[in-house]
Structure 1
Amino acid sequence: MSLSFTRLTPALGALVQGIDLSRPMSADEQQEIRQALILHQVLFFRDQNISPIQQRDFAARFGDLHTHPIYPQHPEASQILVLDTEAHDLKDNAIWHTDVTFSETPPLGAVLAARQLPENGGDTLWASSFAAYDALSDRLRILLEGLTATHDFTKTFPLKRFGLTAADRQRWNETRLNNPPLSHPVVRTHPESGRKGLFVNEGFTTEINELPEEEGKALLNFLFAHQSRPEFSVRWRWALGDVAFWDNRSTSHYAVDDYRPARRVMHRATILGDKPY
């Protein structure tokens, strides 16, 4: 059965059919999926019965994998981080964010698998940074060119919430030492497509470096709100067996926190990326 890609919204997202992710991919399948990821920015696969090891191996076909410094790892595959609402309060994922932009080389992408879901709720939204950038006025795009912004690990992972035990505090301090605040361009050029997109996010971006504090704050607040407009996004209602694969270089996402006290467990493999420019 050949691969097919069905576009979900004008901005981004496609449903992929014709592949079993529990089986090794051919080189042709891998290339088709990579090209579709660049084009559609987030890909969805239904009815996939994959183990954590198979999820890891699928993600590793697209690059070396990242090990998250804070979230726990799966015992069978250390490259799989476990997002379990019974173990951690994940309310910080209920904002628009791009993963690990506090790193000098933020991830290329991520593969997320649904393991346990609430009866209702728990959807995830993705937004296209390309669509958001393209919708800006010419004058504002000119202003943004050449600006850089600071990204800080502590904005989403404050010590008061992620340093509750001695071991947690030690892990947090080591992560802070290894990940000091750093700067990325406000407008990023995608290294494979050449398209430009906004590269600031509410999860980790704290200031625009070249502007006075109040001006930078006002501009960031506008860009955060602008990126979240519904016409730039796709919303996915999870079912068990679903897998999502997104391009972290050109998207942000929002995990809707509307299902408490039900439990939600997701597994994520994160693919290492390169330095934004």
Structure 2
Amino acid sequence: MSIQVPLEESEMTLGPIGKTVATGAEVEWGMVIDYPSPNIGVTVSIDGDSMLLKSAAMGDIRRLVSEHGVVFLRGMKPMSDTEFERFAGQLGRIVYHINSPDVAAIRITQDVKLSNAVWHTDGTYHELPPQYSVIQAHSLPASGGDTMWANAAAAYRSLPDPLRKLADVLSVRHSNDWWRIVNSAPFESVLEAVHPLVQVIRDTGERALLLGRHAAHIEGFTREDSAALIELYQRHITSPEHVVRWRWQSGDIAIWDGRTTQHYAVPDYEEVRQMRRIWIAPEERPVGIADLPN
């Protein structure tokens, strides 16, 4: 249920990602807010022109993303590529895709729905995966085409102790090779990077499992044992209690933290589905527990 909070009376108590928090928010831009899942996600209903979301609002949005993994902005109007780039650029430095070095807003259509119908974290095959992903819905099917997000930080916290201790010391090689095969794009360069399985978020102290479909191999294990461990941890991340499902409306924007979430675009539609997506660069490479000072 959404609760309207008058601007002058708004108040919010925020907790770490994955914990239930009170409704309402103390901001200058006014909102209706609710939580579509107790473990991940917050919905903000915008009243007014989307481009009124300037630096003060973006500070609130960054805080909400940090607290809840993904923020859904409802009531926005579809933006032009230039407007969308200006909007997303307030979150940080924009990352340009290897296939579109001159275009910030990547168009995601129904043509790639099968390659997006996997649980994944964007760009983990890079040494510096994007910190934020920002996506806006433009054209949508009459039904279907939802996107799901999973809370990889809550998943880490709920691991049994033996599995958590094992995860703390593992490193994973990520690759874009599977994407090249699915999209029949052998011409694209193979990109690989090794990251800790448990990523530490310095600004919050949160720990999250860094996996997803780009995770190719756990270092130091046989192919069979690596695949079994990846499947075990991945299944835990995407268990229903860690997941939220978002039903899009035209103009909706989702902003999420790739360090603490995974997402999955549900391919249950045949009509046109067009989105725009922008990546925002991180401040540093993924940090593991071994990287922390003693």
The TM-score range, normalised by the shorter chain, is 0.7 to 0.9
Residue correspondence of structure 1 range 156-235 to structure 2 within 5 A: 156-158=179-181, 161-163=184-186, 169=187, 172=188, 175-176=189-190, 179=191, 181-201=192-212, 203-235=213-245
Q: Equivalent of 1:40, from 59, 68, 92?
A: 68
Match of 1:264 in 2: 273
Q: Equivalent of 1:23, from 46, 51, 54?
A: 51
Q: Give 5+ residue unaligned stretches, structure 2.
A: 1-28, 288-294
Match of 1:251 in 2: 261
CA 133–21 in structure 1, closer or farther in 2 if over 3 Å, else same: farther
Per-residue CA distance 1:71-111 (angstroms, 9 max, x = gap): x68xxx810000112xx333011010000000000001111
Bigger relative CO (Cα 8 Å, ≥ 6 apart): 1
1:2 partner amino acid? G
CA 92–161 in structure 1, closer or farther in 2 if over 3 Å, else same: same
2:193 partner amino acid? L
Partner Cα distance (1:160, 1:92) in 2: 7
CA 19–198 in structure 1, closer or farther in 2 if over 3 Å, else same: farther
* Offset at residue 57 of structure 1 (A): 1.1
* Offset at residue 10 of structure 1 (A): 1.3
Partner Cα distance (1:106, 1:139) in 2: 28
Relative to the length of structure 1, the TM-score reads: 0.87
Per-residue CA distance 1:32-51 (angstroms, 9 max, x = gap): 11111100110111121132
Match of 1:136 in 2: 159
* Offset at residue 157 of structure 1 (A): 2.0
The count of corresponding residues between Structure 1 and Structure 2 is 257
State percent identity of aligned pairs.
Answer: 31
CA 200–62 in structure 1, closer or farther in 2 if over 3 Å, else same: same
SS of the residue corresponding to residue 131 of structure 1 reads helix
CA 121–46 in structure 1, closer or farther in 2 if over 3 Å, else same: same
Match of 2:14 in 1: none
Match of 1:82 in 2: 107
Partner Cα distance (2:34, 2:182) in 1: 43
Match of 2:24 in 1: none
Partner Cα distance (2:234, 2:167) in 1: 14
CA 131–84 in structure 1, closer or farther in 2 if over 3 Å, else same: same
Report if the CA contact (8 A) 2:151-2:260 is conserved.
yes
Partner Cα distance (1:92, 1:18) in 2: 31
Match of 2:125 in 1: 102
Match of 1:123 in 2: 146
Report if the CA contact (8 A) 1:187-1:197 is conserved.
yes
1:265 partner amino acid? Q
1:197 partner amino acid? A
Partner Cα distance (1:21, 1:197) in 2: 35
Match of 2:135 in 1: 112
Match of 1:275 in 2: 285
Q: Give 5+ residue unaligned stretches, structure 1.
A: 164-168
Report if the CA contact (8 A) 2:147-2:245 is conserved.
yes
2:138 partner amino acid? R
Relative to the length of structure 2, the TM-score reads: 0.82
Report if the CA contact (8 A) 2:47-2:75 is conserved.
no
* Offset at residue 3 of structure 1 (A): 4.2
CA RMSD of aligned residues (A): 1.9
Partner Cα distance (1:28, 1:101) in 2: 30
